[in-house]
Structure 1
Amino acid sequence: MGNQPLIVLSEDSQRTSGKDAQSMNITAGKAVAESVRTTLGPKGMDKMLVDSTGGVVVTNDGVTILKEMDIEHPAANMIVEVAQTQEDEVGDGTTSAVVVSGELLKKAEDLLEQDVHATTIANGYRQAAEKAKELLEDAAIDVDADDRDYLEQIAATAMTGKGAESSKDLLAELVVDAVLAVQDEEGIDAENIKIEKIVGGSVDDSELVDGVLLDKVRAHDNMPFFVEDANVAVVDDALEVRETEIDAEVNVTDPDQLQQFLDQEEKQLKEMVDTLVEAGADAVFVGDGIDDMAQHYLAQEGILAVRRVKDSDAKRIARATGARVVANVDDVEADDLGFAGRISQQDVGGDEQILIEDVEDAKSVTLLLRGGTEHVVDEVERAIDDSLGVVRTTIEDGTVLPGGGAPEVEVALQLRDFADSVGGREQLAVEAFADALEVIPRTLAENAGLDSIDSLVELRSRHDGGEYAAGLDAYSGDVIDMEEEGVVEPLRVKTQAIESATEAAVMLLRIDDVIAAGDLSGGQVDPDDGGDAGGPPAGGMGGGMGGMGGMGGMGGAM
């Protein structure tokens, strides 16, 4: 080439290689972990997230915080995916998964500075993660899925430290009732538990309705406000005259001809209503529109009708009442109808809604959550979501672990012994993995205002003495038996957190070259030195590679 430079990338591209790329990605991952670390545990703090339109979210739910933050850096987004995976799989433990991931990256950074190769660290981390999951599974406590008291303890544990904590006993009872109600041979589908938020009253006024609450009203004012002992039809169709599938033009030359057309339409609509009457329907829920004339005939027959019901709501009504969703109104028969003891239009939280209740063996239920303000109700809903996830997982798996950092301390202890059997430099990575797991009890202590070193030393001592369930009570500062205290969480919460955190950390460590197709430079908050809301974002990540965008404005809150 005659010593001429070979230009492969466009002028707009940016490239960061080697240790700079690794350092940049590790810094991004650690920044994400630090942003949610203070929310961990029963004494965790809340974050106030303000979007570009002025909307405010106050929460300490890890996945919600990371969703709301405008994160641009690609490596940082990989850590956000850890939280999302944790949420999708088990519904709780999102903050723990992200914090562990960030700590794994931090420990890896120390090893990289000691000239331990990234591949060696990755191999050591993978071995440690497999061993950790094996140790957790061996130590898991089997629980009886029919033990209501135990399920309520698990539900309450998931709500501890969130906005619903003051009413966690009542809400835990509602959550267990809801999950057990929708359980069937195919398992537990949380979609069959509808959550309705009502601003007004207190959290203690929340209740579970064995049935469905629809944000709808009667199709016609002359229809009854309530129907008792109702036979219910669910129709995924319109109660309207069907249009032809082809364009047609009809020339009317005589007023009588027009009247004949109108009479024919009216006859068709009357036949549709007659079909429902003959089947014995007292209430009908229609997926599409209802013609004005059909509404009139339905009202004459004393049938309560609701139109434009969403598919998801139609399925819930069918599950709750035992009805079958019929695709064509002409096909409705008595066997397709479900039953509800009462269907009524009521004022719920200031809005008129349709309530279907008093059903036999409801397989679809509605949780009515109340709270003094919209922010309170939103945070209660997030706590309920987590609680529903852990109860469902416990029933499905039948295994739990003690909380309060007990599993992490125990696994760290045993991983250090395991490291002696791992040859070469990978032993260092296994030991680093063990140290990283202890970030959970250490953070629990810090967030509770305790001395993290003293707490960790006592935890290690108790576990070294064989007390597997010894965990940190964030309220008293004592190390207690978490199993006896009833502070437990599903095994899958811990195994999934370790698995997701390890995969994300290993993937970031194995990246030694970052090639950006355009200018991704932006602001990034250093976790120890956040910028103010009005000023420029804090320093970049090196190599001109992107920052964490919207986090710049959040710097002071982290």
Structure 2
Amino acid sequence: MSMRQPVFILSEDTERTRGRDAQENNINAAKAVSEAVRTTLGPKGMDKMLVDSLGDVVITNDGVTILKEMDIDHPAAKMVVEVAKTQEDEVGDGTTTAVVIAGELLKQAQDLIDQDVHPTIIASGFRLAANKCQEILEEDVSVDVSVDDQERLKKVAETAMTGKGAESARDTLSELTVKAVKSVADETAEGYEIDTDNVKIEKKVGGRVEDSELVDGMIIDKEKVHPGMPDSVDEAKIALLSTPLEVQETEVDAEIQITNPDQLQQFLDEEENMLKDLVQKIKDVGANVVFCQKGIDDMAQHYLAKEGILAVRRAKKSDMEKLARATGGSVVSNIKELDKEDLGHAGKVEQQKISGDNMLYVTECENPKSVSVIIRGGTEHVVDEVERAFNDAVRVVGVAIEDGSVVAGGSAPEVELALKLRDYAASVGGREQLAVESFANALEIVPRTLAENAGLDPIDTLVDLRSQHETDDFAAGLDVFTGEVIDMWEAGVVEPLRVKTQAIDSAAEAATMILRIDDVISGKGGEGEEEGPGGAPGGAPGGMGGMPGGMGGMM
């Protein structure tokens, strides 16, 4: 009887992990990512120092920043990083919570797999639990908030900043946040729409965090182009140009032959007159401030200065768009078409020196739909961390106004959800019931982690929280500063509803996706791949199959 030949369908340098090994490998990678950020959760969370290959240092406890800076290579771990990125894009806060829940869901799933529960059943149970969580959060846990509820919105901003570098000045910054977001809110038929890009953040090292200020208008990190121009202009009429104030180049290649010096002089005079006419046009329209996205010729600068017009060149396109929103002007691409209606208006345009740099303040705008905040701080690392915290606060206040719903913080929603899910699990039946109960256990990682990071006993804390929630106190959360269980509404710890719904949703989706993988096939070879330690893909010594010096790609 002849021996059967084995059939190889994959190239010999392909790695394949199957079944339980593949699942364990993926789950462990995802758990490792979750553990990396777990110690940063909550007001008492620790910071991470990240040093990149160039030696640049980032000090932060912002989950998504940490995960972006870490060079993560494992495919399953990358899926967990995506959870943080989605959370950041959708809400702006709660990234660490989302990743920690995803990691804990997978840990619970691993226990169920060890008890021979099939991953498909676990995934199905997790989906049921996630849907039930959305229902409980919207119907039982959330409270309405309106755009005029100044105090509660300030609490939302303060909660987002607590535990981050901005904590010392959170009173000042939360006030700035709410003012800034309310300024840029656009009212629509359904409610409010908020594009947080219209809140421009400028950073300047120097001064204290409390010196940060909001400008009802724009701060442009530029200075006037000519020393002869005024430093400040009252009752500013602003021309916004996306075209250069320079002599126009011809579209086609043209050659001009000059035979005597007079012709050359005429040619130069004509160029000068063209620039003079452009400046005259700006003056005739009534503009006394010019923001130009492109260059301004030296001669044009001279004429503008003579007319007492303050001008700025090479302004960023994004700044031009924000200036248009703030001043009510229009960006014009042809100076000849410039009209009085195109001008923006501001009470004052003034050049100020901040930490040794000149900046232009466009202030006293009537109804600015775009505003600027200048963030100050003692060192660059402080300013960067305050900016991250402020950004998170602006985003969550915007989300709270858009959705009109908030929940208590301090892990109160998670404990309430865990309690209600256990009741719901009994009605599910079958093996999915185990998965729903595991989901409830996983949510309790949030209060446990908050307690651990604050140096409290996680088991005692969880028992206290559960007993309070069993008496229908759905806002009972952990005060990490005293270690007591208190009412989070009274303590002013408030988060937008979307922080929780998004975190639970994306964590559940990532966990079920990772669970359903039972085969990992990774192709190592091919051109352009990173070489292993032996100088060839996969680290075969000295090239593939032992061939000398990196002959890997030639087999």
The TM-score bracket by the shorter chain reads over 0.9
Secondary structure of 2:223's aligned partner: coil
CA distance in 2, matches of 1:504, 1:239: 53
Show the 5 A alignment for 1:29-108. Answer: 29-108=30-109
- Which of 491, 497, 518 pairs up with 2:497? 491
CA distance in 2, matches of 1:383, 1:451: 28
Secondary structure of 1:367's aligned partner: strand
For 1:482, give the aligned amino acid.
Answer: M
* Farther-moved stretch of structure 1 (514-523 vs 64-73): 514-523
Q: TM-score, with normalisation over the residues of structure 1?
A: 0.92
- Which of 213, 223, 226 pairs up with 2:229? 223
**Which residue of structure 2 lines up, in the alignment, with residue 515 of structure 1?**
521
**Which residue of structure 2 lines up, in the alignment, with residue 239 of structure 1?**
245
* Farther-moved stretch of structure 1 (98-107 vs 234-243): 234-243
CA distance in 2, matches of 1:104, 1:48: 27
Q: Does 1:189 align with 2:190?
A: no
Q: Does 1:309 align with 2:315?
A: yes
CA distance in 2, matches of 1:228, 1:239: 24
Tell me the CA shift for residue 144 of structure 1: 2.3
Specify whether residues 202 and 522 from structure 1 end up closer, same or farther in structure 2 by C-alpha distance, changes over 3 A only: farther
For 1:156, give the aligned amino acid.
Answer: E
**Which residue of structure 2 lines up, in the alignment, with residue 457 of structure 1?**
463
Secondary structure of 1:27's aligned partner: helix
Q: Does 1:467 align with 2:468?
A: no
- Which of 149, 153, 156 pairs up with 1:154? 156
Tell me the CA shift for residue 104 of structure 1: 0.3
Root-mean-square deviation over aligned CA pairs: 1.6
- Which of 263, 270, 275 pairs up with 2:276? 270
- Which of 479, 486, 491 pairs up with 2:485? 479
CA distance in 1, matches of 2:161, 2:446: 18
1:486-519 deviation per Cα after TM superposition (whole angstroms, max 9, x unaligned): 2110110000000100110011011111111117
**Which residue of structure 2 lines up, in the alignment, with residue 118 of structure 1?**
119
CA distance in 1, matches of 2:227, 2:5: 84
1:299-332 deviation per Cα after TM superposition (whole angstroms, max 9, x unaligned): 1111011111111000111111111111111111
Q: Share of identical aligned residues, percent?
A: 63
Show the 5 A alignment for 1:142-541. Answer: 142-185=144-187, 187-518=193-524
Specify whether residues 16 and 333 from structure 1 end up closer, same or farther in structure 2 by C-alpha distance, changes over 3 A only: same
1:421-465 deviation per Cα after TM superposition (whole angstroms, max 9, x unaligned): 112111110000000000001111111111100000111111111
CA distance in 1, matches of 2:264, 2:112: 87
Secondary structure of 2:81's aligned partner: helix
Tell me the CA shift for residue 254 of structure 1: 2.1
For 1:141, give the aligned amino acid.
Answer: V
CA distance in 2, matches of 1:349, 1:329: 35
For 1:244, give the aligned amino acid.
Answer: T
Tell me the CA shift for residue 418 of structure 1: 0.7
For 2:161, give the aligned amino acid.
Answer: M
CA distance in 2, matches of 1:340, 1:11: 70
The 8 Å contact of residues 154 and 174 in structure 2, kept in 1 or not, is answered as yes
Tell me the CA shift for residue 522 of structure 1: 11
Tell me the CA shift for residue 11 of structure 1: 2.6
For 1:32, give the aligned amino acid.
Answer: V
Q: Does 1:11 align with 2:17?
A: no
1:368-403 deviation per Cα after TM superposition (whole angstroms, max 9, x unaligned): 111111111111111111111110011111111111
**Which residue of structure 1 lines up, in the alignment, with residue 135 of structure 2?**
134
CA distance in 1, matches of 2:175, 2:196: 16
1:228-269 deviation per Cα after TM superposition (whole angstroms, max 9, x unaligned): 111111011111121111112222222222222222222211
Secondary structure of 1:8's aligned partner: coil
Tell me the CA shift for residue 5 of structure 1: 2.3
For 1:474, give the aligned amino acid.
Answer: V
For 1:428, give the aligned amino acid.
Answer: L
* Farther-moved stretch of structure 1 (258-267 vs 402-411): 258-267
Q: TM-score, with normalisation over the residues of structure 2?
A: 0.92
For 1:351, give the aligned amino acid.
Answer: D
CA distance in 2, matches of 1:209, 1:144: 24
Secondary structure of 1:149's aligned partner: helix
Tell me the CA shift for residue 521 of structure 1: 10
CA distance in 2, matches of 1:492, 1:238: 45
Aligned residues, how many?
524
CA distance in 2, matches of 1:395, 1:353: 32
For 1:391, give the aligned amino acid.
Answer: V
Q: Does 1:109 align with 2:115?
A: no
Secondary structure of 1:421's aligned partner: helix
1:128-180 deviation per Cα after TM superposition (whole angstroms, max 9, x unaligned): 00001100000211122211111101110111111111111111001001101
Secondary structure of 1:184's aligned partner: strand
Gaps of 5+ in 2: 534-555
The 8 Å contact of residues 152 and 494 in structure 2, kept in 1 or not, is answered as no
Gaps of 5+ in 1: 524-535, 537-558
CA distance in 2, matches of 1:176, 1:250: 60
Specify whether residues 143 and 281 from structure 1 end up closer, same or farther in structure 2 by C-alpha distance, changes over 3 A only: same
CA distance in 2, matches of 1:266, 1:242: 12
For 2:7, give the aligned amino acid.
Answer: L
* Farther-moved stretch of structure 1 (242-251 vs 509-518): 242-251
Tell me the CA shift for residue 185 of structure 1: 2.9
CA distance in 2, matches of 1:137, 1:407: 11
For 1:336, give the aligned amino acid.
Answer: D
For 1:357, give the aligned amino acid.
Answer: T
The 8 Å contact of residues 450 and 480 in structure 2, kept in 1 or not, is answered as yes
The 8 Å contact of residues 45 and 454 in structure 2, kept in 1 or not, is answered as yes
The 8 Å contact of residues 147 and 182 in structure 2, kept in 1 or not, is answered as no
CA distance in 1, matches of 2:359, 2:155: 33
CA distance in 1, matches of 2:391, 2:132: 30
CA distance in 1, matches of 2:531, 2:125: 34
For 1:172, give the aligned amino acid.
Answer: S
CA distance in 1, matches of 2:6, 2:256: 76
For 2:27, give the aligned amino acid.
Answer: I
Secondary structure of 2:248's aligned partner: coil
Secondary structure of 1:420's aligned partner: helix
CA distance in 2, matches of 1:332, 1:104: 60
CA distance in 1, matches of 2:212, 2:13: 56
Secondary structure of 1:344's aligned partner: strand
CA distance in 2, matches of 1:486, 1:39: 21
Secondary structure of 1:92's aligned partner: coil
